[in-house]
Amino acid sequence: MVTRSASTQSPTLSASTISNKVTPAPNQTKTKTQKTNPTKKTKLTPATENFVENIDTHLLPIKSFFDNNKELPINYPQFRDIIEKVQINPDPDFIFEQYNISLKAMIDLIEKVRPKLQSNSSKIRFTRLHNELFNKYLDKQLKPNTQN
């Protein structure tokens, strides 16, 4: 509120006018609420849930392959764990690092065990996984990491 005194003819500001200009009224405050997105949990399809629940049955035909080939980069329990985790996690790079196996070695291993699988669903699943990993491998070969 601006008032003029009769003697000076200059505008004077009252204390309430100054405080209103410095601090807005309570109903004028702007509050920013930050929305935090909860971490998205990967939702598995019923087919993937079934595969993971029965993974030992699906991988049973290749168990002897691992037992008879000691020169493989990982053993059967490690392979089983990797396959199970890859079904749940769409980006397997971290999983491969945990088991100290390269992308190329995993691709080669899948190529060796895929013909030994008996169920069509397992073969299809391994073919898809192989193709995804192979494409990722090609991308890494064609586009090496550039660091500044």
pLDDT for the residue numbered 52: 67
pLDDT at 115 over 80: yes
Are 81 and 99 contacting, i.e. CB atoms less than 8 angstroms apart?
yes
Give the residue with greater pLDDT, 109 vs 88.
109
For residue 107, give the 3-state DSSP assignment.
helix
Please state, for a pLDDT cut of 70, what percent of the chain lies above it.
62
Q: What is the mean pLDDT of residues 109-117?
A: 95
Give the Cα separation of 21 and 6 in Å (integer).
Answer: 24
pLDDT for the residue numbered 145: 64
Give the Cα separation of 134 and 23 in Å (integer).
Answer: 62
Which tens digit of pLDDT belongs to each residue from 3-23?
555 555 555 555 555 555 555
pLDDT at 117 over 80: yes
